[in-house]
Structure 1
């Protein structure tokens, strides 16, 4: 059996077959007979969070359409002693009088909303909980018509004191919003009102469950003494706190657009609460004060589980959002199974937002996360799981923006023995573009010393394996290797600097489209930009490889290293970007090589399809093609060469420690045959 629905199944049976019946007195008499203190829009306790800011014990109150609701009784017990309630149904009035005989401050009168039995300016607050919705159903109005509703509003205006409040609890369907806006805008010169609409935030789990499919709003109308200026004539809308901040709407259309976001959120919750999810659903929740993104939500089920029961929230720190377990469908499914859940709500945090403890997050996500639980989950308390950051200290040294987007230089300490300086392009899923080991002065960036002969980025270590395919390498080793290298994608310049420092007889050409990275590489990562063995080219790498074979300075390269990042959100690829992952481009790169030269390409993608497509484009361009890969690393290094016995040369080079003794940190990884693709 599924979890109990808080009475919502029974209450749904009370809805009229035709929405026009809402406006018929006979319907309400029948409705009240069949219900016992039924609170369709919530009890006072449910609505307290929204209502309490507008209520004072000293005020006089009028409740419109009390029916058999306990609203007046509950308010009385909370200290609001002067409340008059009216209803068109005589039996409901008699029942209320009997039930509240000992509450001396409550009065109940049978009358119609267009003939309120009270004097002018009698009340500080008029409360309507669902009555307006009943009088204005969505389809054509047979009984009441707008004339009755206008008369009703005229009466409310009459009995309200100056600066009094008309509070309407409503589903706020389009016809309601249009009527309220039209009524008060037409009268803004004779009797002005301030208009505010806010999403009701229920405080009890029972009511949250009952109203999953029915977002409820509170319209707050404040009676003014004199007209307001034209610039102050707007409807203020206060959405769900995780949707965004309050907005001033100048038209009904603008207001409805903002309300649509809230309704879509409510629909999203309804889908999650009633169905097994056949795919991932995601959305962004916003800071209610600043409007900045606050939570990135991804919710998904285990496809192998028939009855989804076990549910948890998993919070992912910003620093780890790009890791395999959190950044792709396959990884997220692995995480789901590893934590033994049927459904997981993954919550990714944003870099510039402030967050408190797990308990603070639990309170903030509160009802939203609770309502995403599956139908068969009976847990009243939802687990919040998380994963810590893997460093002990981190700070930003400097930041800026270039062709590749915003970037940061960071200092990160993992332990007393290991600290690094990083270059991060923050718009590319927080991918670390370059990382150098810090030797000294971690906390004094202007004095920091880095180790240029240590490659902490594993993909750089694997890419160096391509040098071992050069037939001359086993005979001369790194100190005497006279090679001409090309690096497409300079980044922090670490690979370029390593090649320069470790291979003293080699030359290196580095190409990048972003002028900023040349300064970053030399200023923050110790690249010897003035060395005669380094050539720096600011150009589009695609353009460069097409034109280089025809230039006067053409000297074919022994190895080309392709280490260029893109925006994975566009096509699933991080490296190389889609424009570089084409057969024609790989062929152009080959034309820049010596006859037995080596092309090595860093491939990073969370998508199997994207990786497959890159491999397919690379296939059969060279006589010999291989992959270098480490099981724990997302990077895969494609290597292509026409060199005779290239693989044998690689194995021979790797087996000769004397030739790679200074590469003690370099671990090329497992050499694999290139995938057989159709």
Structure 2
């Protein structure tokens, strides 16, 4: 039969502890650790000459062992008559000066200031759940009263949130508060050999006068250097981080499922700012691995954390498989942090990451640090701002895998997702692209003022597919100067797609609807986006704009494009928001298209049932629907035709499309004399894998 309480409230019940110790009998109960695991930190704060009040002593051997090493002024109190009687009998001959008394810890009756230390091992945890913490509060008040100036309350605790908050807030004014995090303590509370959560030792020192500032510190281990925290919430947050880390370690020691990952963030000790994010990825059980390949650390190049290989679950699984290690820890470096070189990163991480090793790894196993060509990568934050709709954002220049520089827009509420991306080029080489390339990496990292956006390069494959989709309009429509191709695009981003259409498809008029004014400002400031009479932006809700145009009548577009993301991360569809694929809105889109018009939708949906539902709704409105999946990504582009097409064959790819694609490619390149650069796109390749839905 288990001797653990069934509910938390029982921990503070005298009746519970009476039953507990009667069942326990002679065997000592070492709550949260024995003398050997605690002596280092206890001897640091409690001296042999101190008069010590041991609160809630139970039948632990801790007081007996302290007595044996010279602590002879120990007053042990407990609420249980059974345990007090038993402990007095057990120590009458061997330790005649070691006394045990049946005393209520909330009203001891001892003189004020009569003890230099109060030792509590688990009693605060036991009492904190009763009366919403009121009982524990009365006990702490009694500890404050009986301790002399300079006296210390030393509490061994699991630091559950409500417990440590109550204690720290009680002592934060007028006392020095220090917390030691002790890992791997032994216990008898469960059948396992160690706690999933670490044991903490709370040390509160009584001052004569209230200091002008709060003294709040956290130490790792018994000898760790104290780290000063500015406020009670910061201290409590630091404790919670240590608990989360140890909980993760507990899970990892039992092995993990390759389909699930564990992640944690390591913060800079001095500033508390995030410095590394570590993701633990195990290989599939069926993977054939060299026997010695137990464990490795892979450092992701700066600026490439959002790449599919590093930023997605599928990519990390593939990375672990290709690395051929049983466990791979994938390390991402944070923006606004400086890193010297790979050797410095390795030295910084080595003490921590070794704790993440897989179970059964030999103790002397060498653990390699892996990277891409031994390089830490490169990133420079060139702009920051705040959107009233989306929060903080960062504009960053990074070096890609191909060696080119790229500019990215990142919203900090989802920092692993690249909102918009453009390739950069140097002003100095803009007119001479055939000059020497890749002299040195340092040369590639030109000054920010010399970097401009390459407007002929579309970083997003789904944008390339959308541009290629114009071939379905036919060249007569595309090249008709008397009737320019009218385009309505919902979602601006960095402006790369509408700017490309403006620059390289001369007979187009593009109208963009963007909800967030901050996005327009970013596009114009950092991504080279420029409006004129052929390219304009309307700030507003795309849904409402489409409904208004349809209700007014008299409006028609050759192409309508949706490239807008969903802010609700709980849905299985991250692009577009669900309202954009409701049947009523799709019918509005259909009505706004010219007879040969085309609707393009960037669809990102991980939920197969939801995707099927979206496709059914689209097919119910449009007679021909084509899909182009993006390799290595979840994205797919739907090209939806208003007309049935060639010979009224709604389920066939147009035979003339291949030739039209070649003609469109020529048209794009024909405009390089007036456009700022050469377009980097292969129209035919983008339409090769077009599928009929």
Q: Same fold (TM over 0.5)?
A: yes
**Counterpart in 1 of 2:469?**
466
**Counterpart in 1 of 2:380?**
395
Q: CA deviation at 1:363?
A: 3.0
Structure 1 residue 20 corresponds to structure 2 residue 7: no
Structure 1 residue 222 corresponds to structure 2 residue 205: yes
Pairwise CA RMSD: 5.7
Gap change, CA 1:21 and 1:612, over 3 Å in 2: same
Structure 1 residue 434 corresponds to structure 2 residue 421: yes
SS of equivalent residue, structure 2 residue 655: helix
SS of equivalent residue, structure 2 residue 179: strand
Cα deviation, 1:472-513, whole Å, max 9, x if unaligned, reads 35x976999942222222222222222122122322222212
Gap change, CA 1:70 and 1:453, over 3 Å in 2: same
Gap change, CA 1:517 and 1:664, over 3 Å in 2: closer
**Counterpart in 2 of 1:591?**
591
**Counterpart in 2 of 1:13?**
none
Q: Superposition pairs for residues 286-301 of structure 1, below 5 Å?
A: 287=267
Gap change, CA 1:619 and 1:313, over 3 Å in 2: farther
Q: CA deviation at 1:468?
A: 1.0
SS of equivalent residue, structure 1 residue 41: coil
Matches of 2:466 and 2:121 in 1, distance apart?
A: 68
* 1:112 equivalent among 76, 94, 100: 100
Q: CA deviation at 1:670?
A: 4.9
**Counterpart in 1 of 2:505?**
503
Structure 1 residue 647 corresponds to structure 2 residue 650: no
Q: CA deviation at 1:414?
A: 4.5
Gap regions ≥5 residues in structure 2: 1-14, 77-86, 222-226, 288-292, 429-444, 647-652, 671-677
Q: CA deviation at 1:651?
A: 1.5
Matches of 2:168 and 2:426 in 1, distance apart?
A: 67
Matches of 1:126 and 1:69 in 2, distance apart?
A: 14
Matches of 1:23 and 1:399 in 2, distance apart?
A: 60
Give TM-score scaled by structure 2 length: 0.67
Q: CA deviation at 1:109?
A: 3.3
**Counterpart in 2 of 1:406?**
392
Structure 1 residue 627 corresponds to structure 2 residue 627: yes
Q: Superposition pairs for residues 334-349 of structure 1, below 5 Å?
A: 334-340=318-324
Q: CA deviation at 1:452?
A: 2.5
* 1:457 equivalent among 457, 460, 465: 460
**Counterpart in 1 of 2:8?**
none
Gap change, CA 1:173 and 1:674, over 3 Å in 2: closer
Cα deviation, 1:425-453, whole Å, max 9, x if unaligned, reads 34343314131432326745455444333
Q: Residues 284 and 293 of structure 1 are in contact (CA less than 8 Å); yes or no, is this contact kept in structure 2?
A: no
* 1:492 equivalent among 480, 491, 494: 494
Q: CA deviation at 1:606?
A: 5.3
Q: CA deviation at 1:305?
A: 6.9
* 1:419 equivalent among 393, 399, 405: 405
Structure 1 residue 198 corresponds to structure 2 residue 179: yes
**Counterpart in 2 of 1:667?**
682
Q: CA deviation at 1:257?
A: 11
Give TM-score scaled by structure 1 length: 0.68
Q: Residues 32 and 186 of structure 2 are in contact (CA less than 8 Å); yes or no, is this contact kept in structure 1?
A: no
Gap change, CA 1:256 and 1:466, over 3 Å in 2: closer
Matches of 1:61 and 1:22 in 2, distance apart?
A: 31
Gap change, CA 1:522 and 1:609, over 3 Å in 2: same
- Alignment: residue pair count: 606
Gap change, CA 1:454 and 1:567, over 3 Å in 2: same
Matches of 2:124 and 2:282 in 1, distance apart?
A: 37
Gap change, CA 1:513 and 1:122, over 3 Å in 2: closer
Gap change, CA 1:435 and 1:546, over 3 Å in 2: same
Q: CA deviation at 1:460?
A: 1.9
**Counterpart in 2 of 1:41?**
33
Q: CA deviation at 1:276?
A: 5.9
Q: CA deviation at 1:565?
A: 2.5
Cα deviation, 1:578-608, whole Å, max 9, x if unaligned, reads 3323333333222221111111222335555
Structure 1 residue 360 corresponds to structure 2 residue 348: yes
Q: Residues 479 and 503 of structure 1 are in contact (CA less than 8 Å); yes or no, is this contact kept in structure 2?
A: no
Q: Residues 462 and 667 of structure 1 are in contact (CA less than 8 Å); yes or no, is this contact kept in structure 2?
A: no
Gap change, CA 1:598 and 1:134, over 3 Å in 2: closer
SS of equivalent residue, structure 1 residue 455: coil
Q: Residues 603 and 638 of structure 1 are in contact (CA less than 8 Å); yes or no, is this contact kept in structure 2?
A: yes
Gap change, CA 1:74 and 1:673, over 3 Å in 2: farther
Matches of 2:304 and 2:216 in 1, distance apart?
A: 38
Q: Residues 603 and 635 of structure 2 are in contact (CA less than 8 Å); yes or no, is this contact kept in structure 1?
A: yes
Q: Residues 283 and 298 of structure 1 are in contact (CA less than 8 Å); yes or no, is this contact kept in structure 2?
A: yes
Gap change, CA 1:659 and 1:203, over 3 Å in 2: same
Structure 1 residue 561 corresponds to structure 2 residue 546: no
Matches of 1:179 and 1:596 in 2, distance apart?
A: 70
Cα deviation, 1:361-395, whole Å, max 9, x if unaligned, reads 3434675x46xx56x66768795866559885432
Matches of 2:408 and 2:160 in 1, distance apart?
A: 52
Gap change, CA 1:240 and 1:671, over 3 Å in 2: farther
**Counterpart in 1 of 2:673?**
none
Q: CA deviation at 1:163?
A: 0.9
Q: CA deviation at 1:120?
A: 10
Matches of 1:632 and 1:386 in 2, distance apart?
A: 23
Matches of 2:640 and 2:157 in 1, distance apart?
A: 67
Q: Superposition pairs for residues 33-72 of structure 1, below 5 Å?
A: 41-43=33-35, 48=40, 51=42, 54=45, 60=50, 62=52, 64=54
Q: CA deviation at 1:310?
A: 6.0
SS of equivalent residue, structure 1 residue 466: helix
Q: Residues 420 and 494 of structure 2 are in contact (CA less than 8 Å); yes or no, is this contact kept in structure 1?
A: yes
**Counterpart in 2 of 1:7?**
none
SS of equivalent residue, structure 2 residue 510: strand
**Counterpart in 2 of 1:578?**
578
**Counterpart in 2 of 1:31?**
27
SS of equivalent residue, structure 2 residue 420: strand
Gap change, CA 1:259 and 1:86, over 3 Å in 2: same
Gap regions ≥5 residues in structure 1: 1-17, 98-107, 140-145
